[in-house]
Amino acid sequence: MSEVSMETPQKPNVFFQLIKGLAYFLLFLASQVVASYVLIFYYVFKFMFQLPAGADFDATQITEEAMEMVFADINSLLIIYAFILVVFLFIFFALRKKRFLNEIQFRKFSPKYLPAMALLTFGLYFFVTSILNFLPESLMKSYAESSSFISEGSFAVSMITQALIAPFTEELVFRGLMLSRFNKALPKWIGITISSLFFGLVHGNPVWFVYAAALGCIFCIVAERTGSIFSTFLMHCVFNASGTIFAYLFPRVTTMELIVFLIIGLPMITTGLYLLLYTHNVVHAARSQDDK
């Protein structure tokens, strides 16, 4: 597989590119809102048909119960909003006679990047896991409550939604569409920062915001170097899958294990970043040589 650069020439209409990037972010939010209403209507009708004959119909109570079910059914919500988002974008780009995968930067990348990607992915997982468990209990309480909704449901469904569907939609929007548009209007480091902050913002919880924004920054750098969000999609899948598997297999971890995670995680991240930049130079040099 060959590297395809994500770098695009600067466009004169800076404002238009910024608006496009923000529009994709709003589309991401809108698809979640629409998916929420779809699920609410589903549960409302379900409760209505389950009412005993002659029972009083309390619309307010049924709606409230339906909304509670939606908040508890995060996996279904992810599936519905991902379907809405992808179908809308596919039709949108088709009408504009543009290729969906090309527009979202989902391309082949050089396999030479895989060692750096592996180091970064597992290094980030070890580091984030250890840091989260060392946070004060006051911070972790709200984080645990937010995370509990994600862990509900069967292991298989959680793996599909958290390790495949969520990474694809998030990489599609934040690295594929937003970052590429911001890069046409802004210096790269500003585009990376804005995209990463928005990525952290949608995770809601303050703890999630911090580490999701940091992860987003790393993913942006990888996407820039590999020239594709296919690479960050794979990293995102493995990162989320590791968390899901780890939560099921090891619900409790010792302090010593967390210290080991922290000790090995940080060097893996720094080594992975160095190897990423080194590999980029090697791939770029080889590509330049082939073009001669």
Q: Is residue 247 in a domain? A: yes
pLDDT tens profile 226-272: 999 999 999 999 999 987 777 677 667 788 888 888 999 999 999 99
Q: Is residue 1 in a domain? A: no
3-state secondary structure of 191: helix
pLDDT at 292: 58
31 contact partners, CB below 8 Å, separation of at least 6 = 81, 82, 84, 85, 88
Q: Is residue 3 in a domain? A: no
Q: Is residue 61 in a domain? A: yes
pLDDT tens profile 185-210: 888 999 999 999 999 999 877 888 88
**H, E, C per residue of 105-148:** CCCCCCHHHHHHHHHHHHHHHHHHHHHHHCCCHHHHHHHHHHHH
Domain count, the chain: 1
Residue 232's domain comprises: 14-291
pTM of the model: 0.86
Q: Is residue 71 in a domain? A: yes
Is the Cα dihedral 27, 197, 157, 65 positive or negative?
negative
Q: Is residue 73 in a domain? A: yes
Q: Is residue 172 in a domain? A: yes
pLDDT at 261: 87
